[in-house]
Homo-oligomer: A and B are copies of this chain.
């Protein structure tokens, strides 16, 4: 082993004193000796910033300089590493991160939105300045997935990366299933329990999870982060009927992110999917996260762990900090940002079976008309069930053979003209895992 570059303390400037920030303070204070034994040097906090100094935060902050402005914190001369756990992809978080890089600091960030939107520019700036940005805490909470992908599996050409990375959505879907409740009921429950962001669409619309997927895809495939190219579909249209029907066929519905490099380009989607109930993804309960990493040599690696919370997120932040204390410096996305390729976005090019649920008018020939639309779009049918019903409308479930999303959309476009459809049909991909 090489001795650490310096026995001088590594000095952190901590921006944000919410749950995660206080978690970082606790680890730095309680594990000072442990961390010094592991890194060969002390790791200390010299300064912190947050808006409200008077708030009771259940931690002793008296030894730290206080800045109200995170940009001022980022510029301090007694800070080596700027630790950003504020959140927000514009405003103070962005300004302070840029200021930190401009004044020669390394950055440890838990901010998935900032990196999903500005990761490429920030990485270029950091690399030009000879600094690093690390963001383990931004993806899948306490699971060290960035490190695993960038370092542990670096001998692989990655084939596919998947993940359930929004605990709130997984809570809602598993609770619907377990308690046989509607989406609306469980959504309201989750809101009242404080499980959802102030803007719940960040969670249930798949945006937060989409940010994380875009970051993983960049690292896995050596491409620039392209959040705008992620196909996003939230869980708002998943009904308890879908959950029950999927269960009957041996599947669970998950908000699953998939990034895959294909001959047509980079697929990135964050959508509700059916996965086998017997796969670890299908068995994932509540707020837990899971990532599945598939490489050409290693095959499939599955990692499961807490996706949020004080301890897990602070653990991820400190993993990055300890790497810096040990002198491990890698480019933000695993290779220099200037060498990342422009991804060619491909809309779900990889065919898969699809689950289609719809309600038809109970008229002779209605089902035949739907089947014809599918056939004309080149989609063949694996299973079709019409359920016993009362009244004029018949619930119908179709499982297709493998088809592209384009063909499915094409067929569904034709459904409308048949005049036999009641309401909108639901189409969910059955992901092969």
The oligomer's copy count stands at 2
- The CA of A319 and the CA of B322, in the complex, are separated in Å by 19
Q: Are A152 and B147 CB-contacts (below 8 A) given A283-B283, A297-B314, A330-B1?
A: yes
Q: Which residues of B contact A299 (CB under 8 A)?
A: 142, 305-306, 309, 311-312
Flag if A144 contacts B152 (CB, 8 Å): yes
Q: Are A302 and B301 CB-contacts (below 8 A) given A34-B157, A155-B27?
A: no
- The CA of A329 and the CA of B142, in the complex, are separated in Å by 24
> A35's contact among B155, B311, B319, B339, by CB below 8 Å, is which?
B155
Q: Which residues of B contact A35 (CB under 8 A)?
A: 154-155
A296 at the interface (CB under 8 A from B): yes
> A155's contact among B127, B131, B322, B334, by CB below 8 Å, is which?
B322
A92 at the interface (CB under 8 A from B): no
Q: Which residues of B contact A305 (CB under 8 A)?
A: 298-302
- The CA of A49 and the CA of B379, in the complex, are separated in Å by 55
A151 at the interface (CB under 8 A from B): yes
- The CA of A433 and the CA of B96, in the complex, are separated in Å by 42
Q: Are A31 and B155 CB-contacts (below 8 A) given A1-B130, A280-B304, A305-B300?
A: yes
Flag if B27 contacts A297 (CB, 8 Å): yes
Complex: chain B residue closest to A35, CB-CB? B155
Q: Are A304 and B306 CB-contacts (below 8 A) given A1-B130, A153-B315, A322-B155?
A: no
- The CA of A232 and the CA of B295, in the complex, are separated in Å by 34
Question: Interface residue tally of chain A, by bracket?
Answer: 35 or more
Q: Which residues 328-353 of A sit at the B interface, judged by CB distance below 8 A? A: 328-332, 334-336, 339
Q: Which residues of B contact A381 (CB under 8 A)?
A: none
Which of A2, A126, A127, A132 has the most chain B CB atoms closer than 10 A to its own CB? A2
- The CA of A336 and the CA of B301, in the complex, are separated in Å by 30
Complex: chain B residue closest to A304, CB-CB? B302
Flag if A319 contacts B152 (CB, 8 Å): yes
Q: Are A329 and B2 CB-contacts (below 8 A) given A298-B312, A311-B299, A318-B155?
A: yes
Q: Which residues of B contact A329 (CB under 8 A)?
A: 1-2
- The CA of A283 and the CA of B276, in the complex, are separated in Å by 14
Which of A40, A298, A309 has the most chain B CB atoms closer than 10 A to its own CB? A298
The 6 closest A-B pairs by CB, nearest first: A144-B152, A155-B318, A298-B315, A297-B311, A142-B298, A297-B315
- The CA of A334 and the CA of B323, in the complex, are separated in Å by 12
